[in-house]
Amino acid sequence: MAKRYDDPIEVTADPHLRGPVGFSWRGRRYEVDEQLSSWRDAGEWWDQARAREREYFRVLARPAGLVATGDLDPDGFMVSPSAVYDIYFDRLKRAWRIARLWD
Residue 60 to residue 35: CA distance in whole angstroms: 6
Q: What is the mean pLDDT of each run of 10 residues along the chain (103 residues)?
A: 93 85 96 92 60 86 82 75 92 93 88
Domain span holding position 90:
2-102
Residue 61 to residue 44: CA distance in whole angstroms: 30
Q: What is the pLDDT of residue 46?
A: 54
Indicate the pTM of the whole model.
Answer: 0.80
- Give the chain's domain count: 1
